[in-house]
Chains A and B, each alone.
Chain A
């Protein structure tokens, strides 16, 4: 039974003698374990597309968002409700104990006694790992600081699986590869699939060497360039991320750089017919809206795929068959 595979968590597997099914970091997963989740998500897709199920009926999911991420929260909400479960949340943060200075550890211990699983988003890196140490129910990390966001990685992989292919994959990661930690996690996951990864970023936002080396050790083939034009003709997936204004002391420099990484119809003239374009959304102006109606755009599908993937994660975390 595949759940036993998911149970094999490193370090924190066993608290109170009970195996937990925490979902904290991509690094906790082998490729086989990821494949199991993706296959499971595939079976939930019809339910996510407007069906309903009673798989998690009677179960309660708590969503604890200590920083706003409405879309991620709604996606978990939707996934839980489509599976027949209920959702509770913190309500207005300022009214809760957190505003009175309660530690996260205490909040987790209390909420874990109400709910069957907890989705946590928190500004501190490693918050979810710590929460798992204090929780009697599974913790699902929905983003901790600039750190891990495993369900985002899983839905990215799922999108590639559904809209392109994970085997023999040639992918370009575009944007802020220096500070964009979620791109680092995605690159790590891609390395498990021995993907051919081209890193496309302005010179000042290149991926740190230590991370590149780690990826190569895992089996990724890494190339680097500063120009999308160099790779657009020989990739299957173009993964676009935002370049943040804050990274540039000089606003003029920001405008110049962000302009040269904008995805336009003209740029796509040289693309493969089967290229897909992904973006974690929300976008600002990295992708020209005119691209939406081309056959390449997949970012809205990608966003939808978050629902079946989170259904799979919730079902596994709560031990549903």
Chain B
């Protein structure tokens, strides 16, 4: 089946996130803070055939233009994803995701003795190494380099 056949309908306004590594769409929604209670119209296509990725996922969020810092978080789990901002059915902006230098409140430190896992009023924060993707907790120095999706808050 071609990508075209699988494709959910075109959107008038909003954001299309394409080239997400197959199987990561739900994590992408999670990162964007899109849950069951979100009012926005969201369409998800999973495991679409892709020449480059094998399979890919696509997420479309209507009437919401994602900000760069929101989409940057996506690169933690879907490096190479592309973001198209749509107005009047036209792509008016195209971004390729890029890892931020610091991520704040997205990933949980897996050191149980870390202050960010205590009752203190702090969110977890990591500095980001891009290649390979490695996160270092700014509090306890603990490194996360594999299975980052499993550490999403």
Contact between chains at B122 and A125 (CB < 8 Å): no
Q: Which residue on chain A has the smallest CB distance to residue B136? A: A27
**Residues of B close to A110: CB separation below 8 A:** none
Taken together as a complex, chains A and B put the C-alpha atoms of A130 and B109 apart, in Å, by 14
For residue B143, CB closer than 8 A to chain A, the reply is yes
Contact between chains at A126 and B121 (CB < 8 Å): no
Taken together as a complex, chains A and B put the C-alpha atoms of A146 and B102 apart, in Å, by 24
For residue A45, CB closer than 8 A to chain B, the reply is no
Taken together as a complex, chains A and B put the C-alpha atoms of A104 and B102 apart, in Å, by 24
For residue B50, CB closer than 8 A to chain A, the reply is no
Main secondary structure of the interface of B (DSSP, over half): loop
Contact between chains at A145 and B121 (CB < 8 Å): no
For residue B88, CB closer than 8 A to chain A, the reply is no
Contact between chains at B137 and A126 (CB < 8 Å): yes
CB contacts under 8 Å to A, within B116-140, are 116, 118-122, 127, 137-140
For residue B41, CB closer than 8 A to chain A, the reply is no
Q: Which of B119, B120, B121, B140 contacts A147 (CB 8 A)?
A: B140
Contact between chains at B102 and A126 (CB < 8 Å): no
For residue B148, CB closer than 8 A to chain A, the reply is no
Shortest C-beta distance, B33 to chain A (Å), equals: 24
CB contacts under 8 Å to A, within B137-153, are 137-143
The size bracket of the interface on B is 10 to 19
A126-B116, A133-B122 known; A27-B127 Cβ under 8 A: no
Shortest C-beta distance, B117 to chain A (Å), equals: 8
Contact between chains at A130 and B120 (CB < 8 Å): yes
Query: How many residues of chain A are within 8 Å of chain B by beta carbon?
Result: 21
User: Which residue of B115, B122, B127 has the most chain A CB atoms within 10 A of its CB atom?
Assistant: B115
Contact between chains at B119 and A130 (CB < 8 Å): no
For residue B111, CB closer than 8 A to chain A, the reply is yes
User: Which residue of A104, A126, A127, A129 has the most chain B CB atoms within 10 A of its CB atom?
Assistant: A126
Taken together as a complex, chains A and B put the C-alpha atoms of A133 and B138 apart, in Å, by 12
For residue B113, CB closer than 8 A to chain A, the reply is yes
For residue B114, CB closer than 8 A to chain A, the reply is yes
User: Which residue of A27, A122, A147, A210 has the most chain B CB atoms within 10 A of its CB atom?
Assistant: A147
Q: Which of B114, B120, B140, B142 contacts A105 (CB 8 A)?
A: B120
Using CB atoms and an 8 Å cutoff, list the residues of chain B in contact with chain A. Answer: 102, 111, 113-116, 118-122, 127, 137-143
Using CB atoms and an 8 Å cutoff, list the residues of chain A in contact with chain B. Answer: 11, 25, 27, 103-105, 122-127, 129-130, 133, 144-148, 210
